[in-house]
């Protein structure tokens, strides 16, 4: 989550579900340039000049990590990629037509936390969603900390279709158990939104009860929404860290939920184990069917870990998902720790993933640091 995270989470950035755009044919390099070059060389040779060497062909590759950062959120809309992050007690966005460049592109600050109030400090894990012609930024912030016991989910709304704003603060989202009473609100972070089976939902990480310590177990919660800035139902606990691969050595938690949709299947990918330790990893929930109610926990099947660190890449988690420019490939953007040492010094990474025979995402293993990775399909024309 934010750049100065407590020993509870890391600093933190549907959702970026796999987009349902039609496939765009990949443009192939033209052979015309080669033919012209050959003609030029032939003419030069006929006059006694030295042959002209063709320019070196640029490699269509990049290396991980892309840049320092945590909780990366990348979304694609109308041919552009947008990367959003928190920094300097504000929220920043970059834009690029290339997925491999967007994390390192110039950023614009679109919102600064107010001097006072519930969201005046500790801005964590913003997400950017395009809903009904406007952009919405979901984030967490608080009024004090450490300890980070006042963190709460909030939302910003753009004035129009420009992701760079301006934005209006729509306030905090109700993430509690007693909707309409003005009471019962609960600590909440990492809120994401998604349309599942025709209904808009919010999913986030929260506490069963507000607490005086940020070393409090975290679960995943879900609630219905009536519009992008209003939660319209009491929360339901969707999942808790009860499996052996989710149980931490210092704290049990589930956080960073993101919705990933493919064909007719809906998944929630989330992070589990302690974010400051090397065993941070991804777990998965899968909704039973297109008619199953997402608010019923038994309609989800848990599996994991579905993406874990290695001896060379540590603490992978808090991922977002998008597609290549030509829609032919699925990509995951995530963070990892820079070392096994406890803490929140992290970097952003990206790599391609595939789909299994039953429609589930297959992430493989993290790409090694410095290893050349082919750029997303459609970037190198």
Tell me the mean pLDDT in the region 97-109: 98
pTM of the predicted protein model: 0.86
Predicted confidence at residue 191, as pLDDT, reads 98
Report whether the peptide linkage leading into residue 117 is cis, meaning its omega lies within 30 degrees of zero: no
Average model confidence (pLDDT) for the chain? 89
Q: Report how far apart, in Å, the C-alpha atoms of 302 and of each of 106, 136, 195, 271, 282 are.
A: 38, 29, 20, 13, 11
What domains, with CATH codes, occur in the chain? 61-374 (2.115.10.20)
Distance CA 244, CA 276 (A): 19
The one catalytic residue among 71, 157, 190, 214: 71
Tell me the mean pLDDT in the region 19-47: 37
The one catalytic residue among 255, 258, 274, 279: 255
Tokens 């400090």 map to which residue? 121
Predicted confidence at residue 53, as pLDDT, reads 63
Predicted confidence at residue 375, as pLDDT, reads 97
Residue 255 appears among annotated catalytic residues: yes
Higher pLDDT, 264 or 28: 264
Higher pLDDT, 47 or 108: 108
pLDDT bracket for residue 54 (50, 70, 90):
low
pLDDT at residue 41 greater than cutoff 50: no
Predicted confidence at residue 361, as pLDDT, reads 98
Predicted confidence at residue 26, as pLDDT, reads 37
pLDDT at residue 169 greater than cutoff 60: yes
Q: What is the pLDDT of residues 321-356, one digit of tens each?
A: 999 999 999 999 999 999 999 999 999 999 999 999
Predicted confidence at residue 182, as pLDDT, reads 85
Secondary structure class of 298 (helix, strand, coil): helix
Predicted confidence at residue 216, as pLDDT, reads 98
pLDDT at residue 218 greater than cutoff 80: yes
**% of the chain beyond a pLDDT of 90:** 84
Secondary structure class of 241 (helix, strand, coil): coil
Residue 71 appears among annotated catalytic residues: yes
pLDDT at residue 55 greater than cutoff 70: no
Q: What is the pLDDT of residues 223-245, one digit of tens each?
A: 999 999 999 999 999 999 999 99
Q: Cβ(29)–Cβ(149) under 8 Å?
A: no
pLDDT at residue 280 greater than cutoff 70: yes
pLDDT at residue 47 greater than cutoff 50: no
**% of the chain beyond a pLDDT of 70:** 85
Predicted confidence at residue 40, as pLDDT, reads 36
């Amino acid at each position: 989550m934010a750049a100065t995270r407590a020993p509870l989470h890391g600093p933190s950035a549907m959702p970026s579900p796999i987009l349902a755009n039609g496939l765009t044919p990949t443009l192939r390099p033209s052979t015309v340039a080669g033919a012209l070059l050959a003609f030029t060389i032939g003419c030069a040779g006929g006059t006694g000049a030295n042959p002209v060497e063709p320019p070196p062909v640029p490699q269509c590759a990049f290396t991980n990590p892309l840049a320092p950062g945590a909780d990366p959120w990348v979304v694609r809309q109308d041919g552009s990629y947008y990367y959003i992050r928190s920094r300097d007690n504000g929220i920043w966005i970059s834009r690029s037509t290339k997925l491999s460049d967007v994390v390192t592109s110039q950023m614009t600050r679109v919102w600064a936390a107010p001097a006072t109030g519930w969201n005046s400090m500790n801005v964590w894990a913003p997400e950017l969603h395009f809903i009904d012609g406007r952009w919405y930024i979901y984030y967490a912030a608080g009024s004090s900390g450490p300890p980070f016991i006042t963190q709460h989910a909030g939302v910003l709304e753009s004035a129009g279709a420009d992701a760079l704003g301006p934005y209006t603060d729509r306030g905090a989202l109700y993430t509690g158990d007693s909707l309409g009473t003005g009471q019962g609100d609960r600590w909440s972070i990492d809120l994401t939104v998604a349309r599942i089976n025709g209904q808009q939902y919010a999913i986030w990480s929260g506490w069963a009860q507000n607490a005086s310590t940020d070393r409090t177990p975290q679960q995943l919660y879900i609630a219905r929404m009536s519009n992008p800035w209003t939660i319209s139902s009491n929360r339901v606990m969707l999942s808790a860290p009860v499996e052996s691969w989710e149980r931490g050595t210092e704290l049990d938690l589930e956080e960073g939920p993101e919705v990933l949709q493919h064909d007719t299947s809906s998944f929630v990918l989330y992070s589990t184990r302690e974010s400051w330790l090397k065993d941070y990893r991804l777990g998965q929930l899968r909704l039973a069917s297109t008619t199953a109610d997402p608010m019923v926990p038994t309609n989800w099947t848990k599996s994991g870990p579905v993406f874990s660190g290695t001896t060379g890449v540590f603490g992978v988690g808090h991922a977002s998902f998008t597609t290549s420019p030509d829609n032919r490939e699925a990509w995951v953007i995530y963070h990892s720790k820079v070392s096994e040492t406890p803490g929140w010094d992290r970097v952003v990474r990206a790599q391609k993933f595939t789909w299994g025979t039953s429609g589930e995402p297959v992430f493989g293993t993290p790409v090694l640091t410095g290893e050349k990775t082919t750029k997303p399909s459609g970037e190198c024309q």
